[in-house]
Amino acid sequence: MKRSGAVVWQLAGTLLAAAILLAGFPARADKKNFDMSAKLYTKWLYKNDDSQGVLWLGNPFWPDDIAGNNGVASEFELAFTGSVSRYVNAGAKIQSRFGGVWQDWWESGERKWEYEGEHNTSGDSLGINRAMYVKFRGFYVNLNPDVPVVDWFRVGSSDLAMFNAWTIGKVRYIDRDNARGVFAQADFADGLFGYHAGIIALPKLWVGPGWSTGIGDDKLEYPFFTQDWAYAARLDSMPIDWLKVSVVGSYTRDVEFDRWDPDAKGSLTSGCVDSMGDAIPGCTIDHAVSTYPRYENAVVTGEIEAQPGDIFYGHLLVGYSYSRLGEKFAENGVESNEGMFPVVYGDVGDLAARARAFAVDPFEIGLSLKLEGFYIGQDWTSIFGARREDDVLLTDGLIEGGQLPTLNLANEFVDFDEPWFESCVGWMGGTAILGYQWENLDIGVEGTYLTYATNGQGRDIDKKYPTFLYSEGYTDTDLYDYANVGDRGRDPRSVYKRDQDRQTLLGVLTGRYTFDFGLSVEAKAKYVRDDDWRKLHLDGSSKFYTDDDYLGDIVTGRLKVSMPVFSSLTVGIGGQIDRWDERNRSGDLSGGYGDYLTSKQKGFGVLTYRWGGASLNYYLEYVHKNQERPDELNLADQEWKVWRSKASFEVAW
Amino acid sequence: MKKVAWLAAAVLMMVSAGAMAGEPVVFEDPTGDDVGPGGYKYPTAAEYKAGSFDMTKVEISDKGDKVEISVTMKVRIEDPWDSKKWSPPGQGFSLQFIQVYVDKDHKAGSGHKDGLPGLNIRFAEDGRWEKAVLISPQPVSRAKMEVKMKAKDLAGDVIVPKAVSVKGKTLTVVVPKDELGGFDRAWGWQVVVQSNEGYPDGNDVLTRDVNEIEGDHRFGGGSDWDCDPQVLDILAGAGKGKDDEKKAQFEALKYTCAGSDMSKAKLAELPMLYVK
């Protein structure tokens, strides 16, 4: 009976609780003062090689245990947002670490290939990255204060999209929750004037000399990164409806403490006595530690954007950057790291300018024209500028993803189907794009002339200008490898060479037609003529030296056909051919240069299925590449036969 | 001489009639009214530039067996989320989502009263709609699927054009007349400006929420209950672009909330505009 009584009481309690919930707390829809959303993402990546992991290109310089071409992994994200009051709202996310493959049943974070000399059969082996741990990310509090000059304060995460690619760029998608700072913004008089301002914590990895703010730098025994900040502001004004003026400025500062200060950790003058125990003249202990900049980068841009009427659009951007490097605190990676270094080693400043003029269908026959002229100085430096997923020039460029004015690009942590980005530091020239758009037809023709502010003879690439080791040859982004074991061509960041006299011509034709029954045909043809006369004169000679002249004739053609089979399913197939005829692609003055002929054929199929809030994407491709290399340089020809695929399945609710 | 005069008159009438038939339906809309019922605010993320949802002109033209609809915004239409790289590719713009509602018979009680899910709007009794055209940056298949899944009863009357043309400040779509059911200048029109949301709430058809407080990707100035018109700009008044049409818009978009009791909420009731 007792037991029955307990059950009755439990039941009554449950009913009472339910009644209270139903009566006392009215149900509130999700968009109210508390909102919760979730996302579950799964990726399959497969290739006909023996690597294991779920990321094509991972971290190039660190023990990396998620990169590999064969695996399937999932990621979960839970986001909370809520309104504290009319004036305060907040949000935060928790997200699992991506990288643990489905076969990792028991990974709990320990790294042990072997255990006390025995074979490890515990299931733990690959470390925390494979344990799919949940991490606190993307948190913020927004405050609408009762002061007239600020609409919103934000404390916490931001994707930094409010500035621009030249100063502090929108962070790449995978970093969207990682940048943290304090931000303010306001708009006055219906857009007449507005501003954004922010103080942002520098990531201890990537923003700084040697891609760090001190960690890993041989010159620093005790890297100090918790006082490293970037400061940025953007001012916008629309004095009239069709005119916008903007100024964006950023100042990035990485500081270290002075080890000659007797109060500093590991001080070289500890106790104000020297190694002999004698007092150091002028040395005083004041219980305060001085800091000095390891690296500073100031960038300012001014923009005028005019769009009078429906036809004409103009945009002018001018900018200046200054980069200052504290040699006392920063190791010279140009010298010691084979030219792998994201800034010029030294103090440099330079200008950039870009002007655009568009005429949008002026004759009302579907024909539009875009013109752009640009100059980006050879010493332009944006250490915190956009690293990828942005584009500052109209041209298709040498590689088609986008051009960004920084050496600090991010072409790592990507899969083979993602776009590539190249540095346009030192680029100057012009682009014209003629577009024709009529009903279902869209055609574009691009012509670009490029020359380079980095042209010059005898540049110091030993101690000052980074080359990223590989500066020659057309870049193969399909079959890229960090160590360049496959002769993949120029690093997209490599804009400096010892001897360069280069100009480039680009022609691009694109077309897309969608038939009324849904079939879409896309075509692209591209031609690049890339001349680099390299060394102009041998030492002491007035005669032009031509034996090292590079000429790249690059031709690419692509065709894709896609068709919605029904509203939830779209399928497509396509192919691409490349022919790169490169004279004197590689070699050196002493050993001579050699010609390359590269041919590539690629076939691919795509499938997209979206139904009921779930989306599935599948991409399969086969790449065949043949690279004929010069016998005189003792280089054998190479061939690739690569099958690879990627699928993703995502739901958000 | 009389015969010549009659002939000239007949030719003149034919030319006039032709000109009338080919003359586009044009509505102007004042600037500065991209605030819904009066107090809506843009999301705070940088992509939502001032004027991006401020409609200034709508032009509907008879093009033989097709009808061309152009909607012009105050500022140049941009593609901050790179829609051409979506899978499948989008239409070359990212932010805006425009819905064009058509009243073909101007009869009380005829047609659909409610707007598509996600807008929280209704139409006046004598201005219900028979057809709606979506100008969405999403790939056609995605837009069609959303309508099919979330507005099954309306899907037969919702048209997703094959492509959207983006030129400067103007978005243009072409709709076959056999899908629209012909074309008549006497029809009524309403154009609703919203924002494209790739991850819409619940049953919303690709629309971005308007909340009480603006957020990174949420409009503000509305209600946290599902009773506010989730609409930034509409056609109102005479559709001539006069300043007093702002007031007409604010009136049309008035709404009343009643907490969680949606039966007591009064949704905004939009008018149709007819060419006089």
Whether the CB of A611 is below 8 Å from some CB of chain B: the reply is: yes
A570, A564 Cβ separation under 8 angstroms: yes
Q: Which two tokens stand for residue A163?
A: 């500035």
Query: Which residues on neighbouring strands pair with residue B68, listed in sequence order?
Result: B61, B174
pLDDT tier for residue B96 given thresholds of 50, 70 and 90: very high
Interstrand relation of A180-188 and A291-306 (parallel, antiparallel or unpaired): unpaired
pLDDT, greater one: A27 or B163? B163
pLDDT tier for residue A527 given thresholds of 50, 70 and 90: very high
Q: Is the peptide bond before B88 cis (omega within 30 degrees of 0)?
A: yes
H/E/C letters for each residue in A491-560? CCCCCCCCCECEEEEEEEEEEEEECCCCCEEEEEEEEEEEEECCCCCCCCCCCCCCCCCEEEEEEEEEEE
- Cβ–Cβ pairs < 8 A, chains A and B: 112
pLDDT at B6 over 80: no
The average pLDDT across B113-133 equals 96
Q: What is the dihedral of CA A90, A93, A94, A96, to 10 degrees?
A: -170
Whether the CB of B203 is below 8 Å from some CB of chain A: the reply is: no
CB-nearest to B226 from A31, A83, A606 is: A31
Task: Report pLDDT digits (tens) over A452-463.
Answer: 999 999 999 999
Contact partners, residue A204, CB within 8 Å, separation at least 6: A212, A213, A214, A215, A223, A225, A228
Whether the CB of B50 is below 8 Å from some CB of chain A: the reply is: yes
* DSSP designation for B218: B
Model confidence, pTM: 0.89
pLDDT at B104 over 80: yes
The average pLDDT across B38-51 equals 92
pLDDT for position A32: 60
pLDDT for position A612: 84
pLDDT for position A259: 84
The average pLDDT across A231-247 equals 94
Chain B partners of A400 at a C-beta cutoff of 8 Å?
none
Diameter of chain A measured on Cα atoms: 113
DSSP 3-state of A647: strand
The average pLDDT across B208-232 equals 92
**HSE-CB of A48 using CA atoms within 13 angstroms:** 9
Residue A41 C-alpha, separation from nearest chain B C-alpha, in angstroms: 14
pLDDT, greater one: A474 or A276? A474
Question: Which B-chain residues 122-151 have CB contacts (< 8 A) with chain A?
Answer: 139-142, 144-145, 148-149
pLDDT tier for residue B9 given thresholds of 50, 70 and 90: low
Whether the CB of B211 is below 8 Å from some CB of chain A: the reply is: yes
pLDDT tier for residue A66 given thresholds of 50, 70 and 90: confident
Chain A partners of B72 at a C-beta cutoff of 8 Å?
310
CA pair distance A386, A409, nearest whole angstrom? 8
Diameter of chain B measured on Cα atoms: 78
The ipTM of this complex is: 0.80
Mean pLDDT (chain A) is 91
> Does A612 sit within 8 Å of B141, measured CB to CB?
no
> E strand or H helix at B12, and its extent?
helix B2-22
The CATH label, of 3.40.50.720, 3.40.50.1240, 2.60.40.1190, 1.20.1740.10, for the domain at B23-274 is 2.60.40.1190
The average pLDDT across A532-555 equals 94
DSSP 3-state of B29: coil
What is the percent of chain B where pLDDT is above 90? Answer: 75
* DSSP designation for B39: T
> E strand or H helix at B248, and its extent?
helix B244-252
pLDDT, greater one: A26 or B150? B150
List phi, psi (to 5°) of B155: -55, -35
The average pLDDT across A481-498 equals 94
Domain spans, chain A: 29-115, 140-276+289-331, 397-653
The average pLDDT across B79-103 equals 93
The average pLDDT across A579-601 equals 95
Query: Which residues on neighbouring strands pair with residue B100, listed in sequence order?
Result: B133, B191
Chain A partners of B165 at a C-beta cutoff of 8 Å?
437, 439
What is the percent of chain A where pLDDT is above 90? Answer: 77
pLDDT for position B20: 45
pLDDT at B16 over 70: no
The average pLDDT across A186-211 equals 92
pLDDT at A647 over 90: yes
> E strand or H helix at A334, and its extent?
helix A333-336
The average pLDDT across A481-499 equals 94
Q: Is residue A618 classed exposed, middle or buried when 0-12, 13-18 and 19+ CB atoms within 10 A define those classes?
A: middle
Whether the CB of A24 is below 8 Å from some CB of chain B: the reply is: no
Least confident piece of the model among A123-137, A358-372, B170-184: A123-137
Closest by Cα among A210, A424, A472, A491 to A335: A210
pLDDT at B7 over 70: no
pLDDT for position B3: 57
Chain B partners of A28 at a C-beta cutoff of 8 Å?
260
Whether the CB of A246 is below 8 Å from some CB of chain B: the reply is: no
**Placement of tokens 């709430």 in the chain:** B201
CB-nearest to B87 from A368, A389, A608 is: A608
pLDDT for position A439: 78
pLDDT at B245 over 90: yes
Residue A642 C-alpha, separation from nearest chain B C-alpha, in angstroms: 23
Residue B172 C-alpha, separation from nearest chain A C-alpha, in angstroms: 9
Least confident piece of the model among A83-92, A399-408, B114-123: A83-92
Closest by Cα among B141, B136, B111, B143 to B124: B111
pLDDT at A86 over 90: no
The CA angle A504-A506-A511, to the nearest 5 degrees, is 170
B47, B95 Cβ separation under 8 angstroms: yes
> Does A652 sit within 8 Å of B141, measured CB to CB?
no
Which site among A142, A310, A394, A513 would you substitute to test the B interface, given the most B Cβ atoms closer than 10 Å to its Cβ? A310
Whether the CB of A238 is below 8 Å from some CB of chain B: the reply is: yes
The average pLDDT across A459-475 equals 97
Q: Which two tokens stand for residue A411?
A: 């072409």
Least confident piece of the model among A21-25, A260-264, B119-123: A21-25
Task: Report pLDDT digits (tens) over A303-353.
Answer: 999 988 889 999 999 999 999 999 999 999 999 999 999 999 999 999 999
Question: Which B-chain residues 216-255 have CB contacts (< 8 A) with chain A?
Answer: 224-226
C-alpha distances (whole Å) from A390 to each of A296, A321, A406, A627 are: 24, 19, 12, 31
pLDDT for position B276: 73
B232, A52 Cβ separation under 8 angstroms: no
